[in-house]
Amino acid sequence: MPTVPAKRDTYTPDSLLTVAVRVFNERGYDGTSMEHLSKAAGISKSSIYHHVRGKEELLRRAISRALDGLFGILDEPAAVDGPAIDRLEHVARRTTEVLMSELPYVTLLLRVRGNTDTERWAMARRRDFDQRVTALLRQAAAEGDLRTDVDPRLATRLLFGMINSLVEWYRPDRGGRTPGPDPEVADAVVRTAFAGLRT
């Protein structure tokens, strides 16, 4: 079998992860082989095995990075103190920001479908996050600040449907954006979801 053209392995765990996540998002995790990763990184498979045990470890690291970003939000002071409606708005805004700043990692998280232990763990953690937000919605409704004619679980799905859609259309390098999360997008999410489009 032909080997990959020699390239000195100068990868760090982080830079190898960047390549792997790009390939996972392009081909799908299931559709990615170690051969694909080796070609994309330009180093041999044995060099990759020097860094990680296999592609599932790369997936776990990538997903962990997305989850750390998302769960970190729930521990921020503005997500912990104050009326539930304000904490919810903060979580919505910050989730949108984390999605933009960690776009490839969150994209991967949102696309996993549960064929391996790591994928099932990722899906369980996503459900945990959603349930924490649903609990906030229930509390905001109990405090009288959230409309009560939309079921909290349904509202959570619609809110995240709106936010998560960014992985389909948000491109940080398009339209002369400055690097980092676009504050206009986070504002638009919060205004639309909490105040509505109608004047």
Residues lying near its own copies in the complex (CB under 8 A) are found at 28, 31, 85, 137, 144-147, 149-151, 154-155, 157-166, 168-169, 184-185, 187-189, 191-199
Our CB check for its own copies shows the closer of 48 and 140 to be: 140
Q: What amino acid is encoded at 110 in this protein?
A: L
Our CB check for its own copies shows the closer of 4 and 110 to be: 110
Our CB check for its own copies shows the closer of 101 and 164 to be: 164
Can you read off the two tokens belonging to residue 170?
């948000």
**Degrees, nearest 5: CA angle 167-126-106:** 25
> Smallest distance, Å, CB 89 to its own copies?
8
> Smallest distance, Å, CB 37 to its own copies?
20
- Helices 55-74 and 103-111 sit at what angle, rounded to 10 degrees? 110
Asked if residue 73 lies in contact with residue 94, where contact means CB atoms within 8 angstroms, the answer is yes
> Smallest distance, Å, CB 53 to its own copies?
27
Our CB check for its own copies shows the closer of 48 and 70 to be: 70
Residue with tokens 């390098």: 173
> Smallest distance, Å, CB 175 to its own copies?
10
**Degrees, nearest 5: CA angle 181-197-187:** 20
Alpha helices (runs of H) in 42-116, residue ranges in sequence order: 45-51, 55-74, 77-80, 84-101, 103-111
The conformational region for residue 9 under phi > 0 = left, psi -120 to 50 = alpha, else beta, is: beta
Our CB check for its own copies shows the closer of 78 and 162 to be: 162
> Smallest distance, Å, CB 99 to its own copies?
11
